[in-house]
Amino acid sequence: MTFLKTALVGTSLVLASCGAAPDRYTVTAPIVTEKLRIGFSAVEVSDVSLPTYAAADEIVVQDATGKLVPSGAALWADTPERSVALELTRNLAKLSNARVASEPWPFEAFPDARLEVRFESLVAQADGQFRATGQYFVGVTDERRERSGLFDLTVPFDTTGGPQAVAQARGQIILDLATYIASKGLK
Print pLDDT tens along the chain (187 aa). Answer: 444 344 444 444 444 445 678 899 999 889 999 999 999 999 999 989 999 999 999 999 999 999 999 987 899 999 999 999 999 999 999 999 999 999 999 999 999 999 999 999 999 999 999 999 999 999 987 766 789 999 999 999 999 999 999 999 999 999 999 999 999 999 8
Q: In which domain, by residue range, is 29 found?
A: 24-184
- Is 150 a domain residue? yes
Q: Residue 122's pLDDT is what?
A: 97
Q: What is the pLDDT of residue 73?
A: 84
Domain-located, residue 16: no
Look at residue 14 and tell me if it is in a domain.
Answer: no
Residue 67 forms part of a structural domain:
yes
**What is the predicted pLDDT for the residue at 72?**
74
Q: For residue 81, tell me if it sits in a domain.
A: yes
159 assigned to some structural domain: yes
105 with 49: CB under 8 angstroms? no
For the chain, the domain total comes to 1
The verdict on residue 118 lying in a domain is yes
> In 165-177, which positions are buried (b, 16+ CB within 10 angstroms) versus exposed (e)?
bbbbbbbbbbbbb
| Residue 124: CATH number of its domain | 3.40.50.10610
pLDDT score recorded for residue 6: 42
Q: How far apart are CA 185 and CA 167, in angstroms?
A: 26
* 10 inside domain: no
